[in-house]
């Protein structure tokens, strides 16, 4: 049994993290039942730089946002993607 890990609360809404996880699973064609969490690193899931670009494009389409290339290149985890999306959505609605 694993010891409970320290849980970090973050800016992104749980539903955003869930949507990002779903898109990552779809884009990477991960097996059904794959667990993708906020802490999941794209590289650990087998994503290369092209996969990451496709993930970002999928996120842009899903959320109706535009991610700048510099921001897109800095995203390495599901959580970072979700945080960026929530930030962009807030900016868009302001």
Please list, in sequence order, all residues whose beta carbon lies within 8 angstroms of the beta carbon of residue 36, skipping any fewer than 6 positions away.
Answer: 21, 24, 25, 30, 45, 78
Torsion sign across C-alpha atoms 11, 15, 19, 22: positive
Catalytic residue status for 48: yes
Please identify which of the residues 48, 51, 83, 86 carries the catalytic annotation.
Answer: 48
Q: Which amino acids are annotated catalytic?
A: 48
């Amino acid at each position: 049994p694993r010891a409970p890990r320290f849980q970090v609360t973050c800016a992104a809404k749980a539903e955003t993290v869930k949507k990002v996880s779903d898109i990552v699973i779809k884009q990477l064609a991960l097996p059904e039942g794959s667990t993708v969490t906020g802490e999941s690193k794209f590289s650990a899931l087998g994503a290369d730089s092209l996969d990451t670009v496709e993930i970002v494009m999928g996120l842009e389409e899903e959320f109706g946002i535009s991610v700048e290339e510099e921001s897109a290149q800095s995203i390495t985890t599901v959580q970072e993607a979700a945080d960026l999306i929530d930030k962009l959505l807030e900016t868009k609605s302001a």
